[in-house]
Amino acid sequence: MNILFIYPEYPETFWSYSHAMKFIQFKTKKASFPPLGILTVSSLLPSTWQKRLVDLNVQTLNDSDIQWADMVMISAMVVQKQSIHEIISRVKKIGKPITVGGPIFSDDTVADFPGVDHFLLGEGELSIPPFIEDFEAGRLKKVYHAAGKPALCDTPIPDWSLINFKSYATMMVQYSRGCPFDCEFCDITKLFGRVPRTKEPQQIVAELDSLYRAGWKGRVFIVDDNFIGNKVRAKEALVAIIEWLKENNYPFTFLTEASINLAEDDELMELMIAANINSVFIGLETPDEKALLESNKVQNTRVDTRSAVRLLQEKGFQVQAGFIVGFDSDDETIFDRQIEYIQEIGVVAAMVGILTALHGTKLYTRLEKEGRLIEASSGNNTDGILNFVPKMDPNVLVTGYKRLISTIYSHEESCKRILTFLKHYNPRYKLTSVDPSRLLALFRVIFHFGLVGRGRRDFWKVIFITLKSRPKAFADVITLFITCYHCRQIAKDIV
C-alpha cells in the first residue's frame, strides 16, 4: 500500500513567517514548521505501508508522485482551504482515492469537499484504527468519527523520516490537548475539550530524544494550545525535560503557548525557564475588561496583564501575544487604546486581528442566532476581513484596524517596543549549538536594517543599547527584527 501524504500550501499569515524566511534561508530552508499532524498520522498507519510526504510549502507536487500512490491523504486547517481544493482537483484527474482529516474537516463541511472519498473526523488515535480495519477487510466507508477524546498515552512518536530537516526553521512536538478555559471566540475546546489531556513525561522525553537522534538541533515549538492547562502535569513533564536537556548538553530551545495565569505560579515559571522555554505566546486580546468579560476571557480579568507581562519578561520569557478588535463592546477609542497597550508592555511579536467567528465556537452560534454572520471564516484572523456584522460601523472597524497595524508594525514603533522589552528582559536559556542559518540571518539583518534600510538610526540605537545593557539578548534582538519585518509585510498586504 503506497500512501502519499500531501500538506497544502499556507497563505501568508502571521503564523506562516513567510517573509522571515528571506533572512533565515540557508541552502534548503523554505518553511517555518513541518506538518506535525501528518508525521503523527504516519506513525499510526501500518509500518508495512510505504509512505511519502509532499509538503507544498517546501516542494513541488509532481504527477509522478500522485501516480505512485495507491491513496492520497491530506491533513489541513481552515486557512489552507484554497490549496486543498486545488490538490483534490488535481488528484481526481489522475483517478486516485483521497482520504482527509484535520481541523478543517467536520460533519458540517463534508459536503464542501465532493471529491473526497473518505473523511477521518476528530482525533486520529480513534478514527484511524477502524479505517485501517475496514481497509484490510475491503469495506471502507465514507466517514469515520473519533468516538470521544483519546488519552495521549498511546500517541506514537512522529515519523521524522518523512521530512528533510534542512527544509524547516523550527521543529514541532505536542505534549497536551485541550484547555480548561472557554473563550467565546476560540475553537480549541470544540476540537479538544476543556479537560487537558497529556502525554506521560517519558513520552515527551522519548519524542525529544528521537528528534535529537534524527539530527535536529535548535528551535522546537511545543504546539499545545495551552501548555499549562494542567499545571501539575506540566510540571512533571518539565522536570523530565530538564533532566534530558542536562544529559544532552541543551540542544534545544523551546517556544510554546500558555494562558496569562502562568505569571501567578513562580515554580512553574522557573521550571519552564530551566527547561529552555524562553518564548511564550499568550492571548492578551484587549486592555478592555468589558470585552474580556463579553468573550468569557475571565482569566485575563483576574490579573493585571501589564504587570504579568513585565514579570514574565523579567523571568526570562519573550512574550508574544494575540490581540483582537471588533468586540461588541468596543468603540472607536479601542484602536488608540490597543496601540498604547501594546507599546507599553513591550510585546514585540504582536498578532493583531479583527474578531472572527470560527465555525463551532460559541461566538459563531451566538452570531448565527442573531442573524449577523456574513460568510465562513478564512481561518486567518489577521486578513482584515469581516465575517460577521459588528456593532461598530464596519468601515470604522476596518479602517481603525488598518491604522492600528500600520502603526505598531512600523519600523519606528517596533524599535520602541524592542527597547521597552529590553528594559525588563533577563535571558536565561542555554544553547550549545548554533544553526548556521542564524549566522546568515545576522549578516542579512545588519545589511537590510543597518546599511540600506530607511530606519538605520533606530536600528543602530537598538543594537548599541543591546550590546551595552543586555548583551546576552543580542541573538534575540536580531530575531525580533526579523519578526517585525515579517509583521510589517503582512500589514502592508492587508492595508
What CATH number should be reported for the domain holding residue 44? 3.40.50.280
Q: Is residue 483 part of a domain?
A: no
**Judgement on whether residues 215 and 252 belong to the same structural domain of the protein:** yes
Residue of 17, 51, 11 lying closest to 31 (CA atoms): 17
Which residues are bridge partners to 172 per DSSP? 221
Q: On the CB side of 338, how many CA atoms lie within 13 Å of its CA?
A: 32
pLDDT of residue 380: 83
pLDDT of residue 267: 98
pLDDT of residue 398: 96
The tally of domains found in the chain comes to 2
CB of 60 within 8 A of CB of 30? no
Q: Is residue 153 part of a domain?
A: no
pLDDT of residue 251: 95
Q: Is residue 159 part of a domain?
A: no
**Judgement on whether residues 190 and 134 belong to the same structural domain of the protein:** no
**Judgement on whether residues 267 and 208 belong to the same structural domain of the protein:** yes
Task: Pinpoint the alpha helices (H) of 248-388.
Answer: 266-274, 289-294, 305-315, 334-345, 362-369
Q: Is residue 490 part of a domain?
A: no
Q: Is residue 52 part of a domain?
A: yes
Q: Is residue 491 part of a domain?
A: no
Q: Please report, for the domain that includes residue 281, its CATH number.
A: 3.80.30.20
pLDDT of residue 437: 64
Q: Is 149 exposed, middle or buried (0-12, 13-18, 19+ CB in 10 A)?
A: middle
CB of 283 within 8 A of CB of 305? no
The count of other CB atoms within 10 Å of the CB of residue 161 is 11
**Judgement on whether residues 221 and 293 belong to the same structural domain of the protein:** yes
The whole-angstrom separation of Cα 299 and Cα 259 is 8
Q: How far is CA 45 from CA 3, 5, 154, 229, in A?
A: 10, 12, 13, 29
Percentages helix, strand, coil for the chain (3-state, rounded to 5) are: 45, 15, 40
**Judgement on whether residues 200 and 286 belong to the same structural domain of the protein:** yes
Return per-residue pLDDT of the chain as tens, 495 residues: 999 999 999 988 877 788 887 776 655 678 899 999 999 999 999 999 999 999 999 999 999 999 999 999 999 999 999 999 999 999 999 999 999 999 999 999 999 999 999 999 999 999 999 999 999 999 999 999 999 999 999 899 999 999 999 999 899 999 999 999 999 999 999 999 999 999 999 999 999 999 999 999 999 999 999 999 999 999 999 999 999 999 999 999 999 999 999 999 999 999 999 999 999 999 999 999 999 999 999 999 999 999 999 999 999 999 999 999 999 999 999 999 999 999 999 999 999 999 999 998 999 999 999 999 998 888 887 888 899 999 999 999 999 999 999 999 999 999 999 999 999 999 999 876 666 666 778 888 998 888 887 889 999 999 999 999 999 999 999 999 999 999 999 899 888
Chosen domain end from 382, 403, 424: 424
Whole-model pTM over 0.85: yes
Q: Is residue 61 part of a domain?
A: yes
Expressed as residue numbers, the domain containing 133 is: 2-23+35-145
